[in-house]
Amino acid sequence: MQRISEHLVQSYALSPERRHALYRRTLVVVIVSQIFGGAGLAAGVTVGALLAQQMLGTAGLAGLPAALFTLGSAGAALLVGRISQRRGRRIGLAAGFVTGGVGAAGVVLAAITNNVIMLFIALLIYGAGTATNLQARYAGTDLAPARRRATAVSMAMVSTTLGAVAGPNLVTPMGAFATSLGIPALAGPFLLAAAAYTLAGVVLFFWLRPDPLLLATAIYAQDQAAAAAFPNTPSRPAEPVVNSRGVTVGTTVMVLTQIAMVAIMTMTPVHMQSHGRGLTEVGVVIGIHIGFMYLPSLVTGMLVDKLGRVPMAVAAGLTLLAAGIVAATAPAHSMTQLMIALALLGLGWNFGLISGTALIVDATPIETRAKTQGSIDVLIALAGATGGAMSGVIVAGTSYAVLSLAGGILSLLLIPVVIWSQRSAPTRMENS
């Protein structure tokens, strides 16, 4: 692992005030990067399926872009997690965002040349931005007290709302801008994504200093050395050992919410367009959905910290079930009911991601946390890829209503998982 100077470590280890100030400054830098990252994320969500449908000439494979960029995010999540563990959050996250920007630019080039193979490759690379956008939420927890971890995650996520909501609502203007340059309209949002992801990487690379993960790891190592040398000296509470049950439950919560959310979200634009809705209306619905994915985060984080991880995980399953039922019963002409369904879908995902993330952070020690987080995000990305790939096939073979109900029912599996986690749950040691 890359090292931080002993003098710098000492200056933060001996001053809780300086450490808290750095924690707050780290959150500010992450928040700024997440605003750009959210805008980059929105492109693939909003028009990825429509672009594939246009280039491939069939709706049956419209879920493929979501599958590809979530599959690409799986590999990127593993790499970003491992790079972050060895080199710090700054290098890992900056590299992931810039790679995502390169992928978005590749999607634009593929659309210009009508090259389907290039589109598939570019979408895989674009997935690096998606993975990094999610992993950035962990950066705020590295220096956070245990009682504030979910709140730290939520503060990083809520900032994504600004870019993520703006992105879908810029679909029509970006399409017009792209057309003025001789580029297909549906590639316009990916122009925005290329710039936004790159800017997110630049912000993190230049301003995420000192690196929160490297500093937290160094302070912990120093505390351990001091405790060994002076066993009778009071020290900060120890980091938790690996809690395999906590890791399993946190991972399951996030994986199930991801499958349900991606499957329904991916096919909603295709469903709307097949019933005569235009890009502007699609942008509004998806914008509301993404807003509810991220905007409630600050309140969700406080609820997770105060009410507990498990009650909020149960709330995630019930909210996603409600989303599936509302989407399945929405009349083709009802924009209002679709907006409600997609809002509930985003809210359920938000509950699941923040409660699951908090469970993971609680259950992993600082020395291996980033690597473990990256590995878990691989499973989340693969779950999203599965949901995206199967969504188009299910809708082509049955209907959007069947897909929505299936996603809602799947999310109910969260409840027995978290009930199991409460039976003889191991005691957890937490940071102060």
Q: Among 7-21, 121-135, 150-164, 405-419, where is mean pLDDT lowest?
A: 150-164
- Angle between helices 369-397 and 400-411 in degrees, nearest 10: 150
Question: Whole-angstrom Cα distance, residue 400 to residue 392?
Answer: 9
Does a structural domain hold residue 294? yes
Is 216 inside a domain boundary? yes
pLDDT per residue over 147-172, tens digit each?
888 888 888 787 777 776 677 677 77
Q: Is residue 390 part of a domain?
A: yes
Residue pLDDT, tens place only, 122-150 = 989 998 998 898 888 888 888 888 788 88
Answer whether residue 431 is part of any domain.
no
Residue 1 lies in a domain: no
- Note whether 101 and 78 are within 8 A (CB): no
Asked, for residue 296, whether it belongs to a domain, the answer is yes
Residue among 191, 212, 262, 269 nearest 410 (CA)? 262
Domain of residue 373, CATH code? 1.20.1250.20
Could you tell me if residue 27 is inside a domain?
yes
Winning range, highest mean pLDDT, from 15-29, 43-57, 58-72, 201-215? 201-215
Out of 116-120, 226-230, 313-317, 322-326, least confident range: 226-230
b/e map 342-359, b = 16+ CB within 10 Å: bbbbbbbbbbbbbbbbbb
- pLDDT band per the 50, 70, 90 thresholds, residue 429: very low
pLDDT over 80 (residue 214): yes
pTM of the model: 0.76
Residue 57 has what DSSP assignment? S
Q: How many residues does the chain have?
A: 432
H or E stretch at 67 = helix 64-87
Dist. CA 147–CA 430, nearest whole Å: 8
Lowest mean pLDDT among 41-55, 85-99, 256-270: 41-55
Segment among 31-45, 137-151, 228-242 with least mean pLDDT: 228-242
CA distance 144 to 152: 7
Residue 428 lies inside a defined structural domain of this protein: no
Number of domains in the chain: 1
- Check if the beta carbon of residue 388 is closer than 8 Å to that of residue 64: yes
Q: Which of 46, 410, 69, 70 minimizes the C-alpha distance to 257?
A: 410
Range of the domain at 110: 6-421
